[in-house]
Amino acid sequence: MAEIVVLSGNAHRDFADQVCAHLGVPLSHTDIRRFSNDCLWVQIAENCRQRDVYVIQPLVPPTQEHLVELLLMLDAARGASASQVTAVIPHYAYARSDKKDASRISIAGRLVADMLVTAGADRVLTMALHAPQVHGFFSVPVDHLTAIGELADHFRGRDLDNTVVVSPDLGNAKTATQFARLLGLPVAAGSKQRLADDRVVIDAIVGDVAGKRAIVLDDEIATGGSIIELLDRLAEQDCTSVAVACTHGLFAGKALQRLRDHPSVTEVLTTDTVPISVTDWPEFTVRSVAPLFAEAIYRINGGESISSLFDGVDPTHGPPQPQLPFGHA
């Protein structure tokens, strides 16, 4: 590897430490202070001149605090004459604000993308954006990782007879289908209508779930409202049990308790894109994606392919498939 500098804010320093451990490089010190007027101040202790700099910071609560930290670190790295600055954002919180679905609102996903580029990001490395169009909000290259291979590995080797993969909504059905193919399972999806941030209605299940075990796959669980609504509809259709899996396990408020108390839930699986610590629930598992991010950083630094990481995992992220000549079936 060419000489690199890896920085982290306060959002998820443990994750940054794990990435550095896999890369075999130290996590450089960043001094973040707060003035008496509540303004933040950032100083990078490492020489960044003509070096490849990676700033690791998921946008997790308090989201605005961590966003400003990230912007200041990007600006500081650019001002220190870094050759390239990559914003490594395991969880891009504003990806849910991807369209104008009400009058006089901001498309915050695009606004935050513009802010990151203005602050100094030459490239973005992230995982499981909520909607594909968010990728297009950025005017710089975006390497978009997926965790479905890591999540699927958790279930490999088990008896998956009479099991179905279920997406909470039709918008996530494509990812759920790719996940189901990795495990050789059928797929179903809920027909969801969101009424508010914590209120959803699922009025139908598309697919056969009666008498089957389900693996519910979602990109993010915040309040758990969508998942609980889906669990209730699955129970009404005689689904026998449910394993819940997601990439970004935010579990705001009482979300974890709601899942733990639901009679259908047998286990919960998530990744470490956001900080979480659950020690008193044996059926709760966190799979680390730090090695995947470390490999992506290694390949970015060396000018190697990122898409080949997903050969056989996800054709959306992997290399393009050969096209047949025009007129051939």
**pLDDT number for residue 198:** 56
Of the residues 100, 174, 192, 212, which is catalytic?
192
Q: Which fold is adopted by the domain 148-287? A: Rossmann fold (3.40.50)
Task: Provide the pLDDT for residue 214.
Answer: 97
To the nearest 10 degrees (0 to 180), the angle between helices 63-79 and 108-119 is 30
Whether the CB-CB separation of 121 and 140 falls below 8 Å is answered with yes
How confident is the model at residue 329, as a pLDDT? 39
What pLDDT does residue 300 have? 96
Query: 148 — alpha (psi -120 to 50), left (phi > 0) or beta?
Result: alpha
Residues 282 and 267: their CA atoms lie apart, in Å, by: 8
Predicted pLDDT of residue 325: 45
> Per-residue pLDDT tens for 210-227?
999 999 999 999 999 889
Measured between alpha carbons, how far apart are the two ends of the chain, in Å? 45
What confidence score (pLDDT) does residue 277 get? 83
pLDDT at 307: 87
Of how many residues is the chain composed?
329
Task: Give the predicted TM-score (pTM) of the model.
Answer: 0.91
Q: CATH top-level class for 4-147+290-310?
A: alpha beta
Q: Do domains 4-147+290-310 and 148-287 have the same CATH topology?
A: yes
157 Rama sector, left if φ>0, alpha if ψ -120 to 50, beta otherwise: left
Known active-site residue 99: no
Other CB atoms within a 10 A radius of the CB of residue 273 amount to: 30
Q: Where are the domains of the chain?
A: 4-147+290-310, 148-287
> DSSP states of 203-262 as a string?
EEEES--TT-EEEEEEEEESS-HHHHHHHHHHHHTT--EEEEEEEEE---TTHHHHHHH-
Look at residue 204 in the predicted model and tell me its pLDDT.
Answer: 84
Q: What's the rounded Cα separation, in Å, for the pair 90 and 145?
A: 9
- Per the DSSP assignment, residues forming a β-bridge with 123 are 86
Ranges of the chain with pLDDT below 70: 1, 192-200, 314-329
Query: From CA 33, how far away is CA 169, in angstroms rounded?
Result: 42
